[in-house]
Structure formats: structure tokens, C-alpha cells
Amino acid sequence: MAEWTLDEVAERFREAAETAHRLPKVGVQGYFNTWPAIKREARELYTDPDRVLRFPPTPEAIDRMEETMRWVLWLEEPQRHLVWMRAEEWGWQDIARRFGCDRTTAWRRWQRALGIVVGRLSGGSARSDR
């Protein structure tokens, strides 16, 4: 078994969040448009504010994201929100405001949540000390 560190786990969560944002948008099934598609000129394609150019994630990145998403099952719901907010690169002030605590307290809770994941990945128990 490989030994995991807090930094490696945090990076995997950040990569999973980035991969999730790069996935194609999913529309509601059952709705369709009968209007014909508008043929745009090349110069118009680059100025469309509604068009977001994203490169799709690689299959390996999707596999790593799915594995990482299974890790959140080891955490309690507030810890899941905290870890995911940080993975999406929210600022500590915003996270602290969301959880109603100080920045340092939010950071400690984030470290504890990552520690739980590291412990499980390294073969330990999923005990969370409060």
C-alpha cells in the first residue's frame, strides 16, 4: 500500500473538482428545439459569450475523479462540503463564513477531514476525533 499525504489527497480532490467542471453539460431529456441551427461565420464563433470552450477530460482523469468521489463517503456531510469547497478553490474567508467559524477553525476542520481520508487510504480506521 502506498502512503498518502494530506497534500496528495488535497490535490486529488482539486483535480476531481476540475475534472467535474470539464465534463459536458447535461440537458433535461424530453425537451428539444425545432428551430434550425444558425450557421455562424468564423469571426462570430469566438465572440459568443454563451459559448464556453472546454477541453473534455481524459478517461484517466474521469477514473481518478470517480475514485476520489468514493472517498467522500468516509466523511460526514459538513466535512464533504468543506473538502469540496476547498477543492473548488473557495477562499478561506468564504468557507469560514459558510460554516460560521474562524478561518483557522475552518482550516483545522479541513485538515481533520483530509486526515480521515489519508488514514483510510493508508489502511487505518475511519475514526474522526472531535
Q: What is the C-alpha separation between 78 and 89, in angstroms, rounded? A: 17
Q: How many alpha carbons fall within 13 Å on the CB side of residue 89?
A: 7
Of 109, 105, 92, 118, residue with least CA distance to 13: 118
pLDDT by 10s per residue, the chain, length 130: 578 999 999 999 999 999 999 998 877 777 777 888 878 777 776 666 666 667 899 999 999 999 999 999 999 999 999 999 999 999 999 999 999 999 999 999 999 999 999 999 988 755 544 4
| Count of C-beta atoms within a 10 Å radius of residue 113 | 25
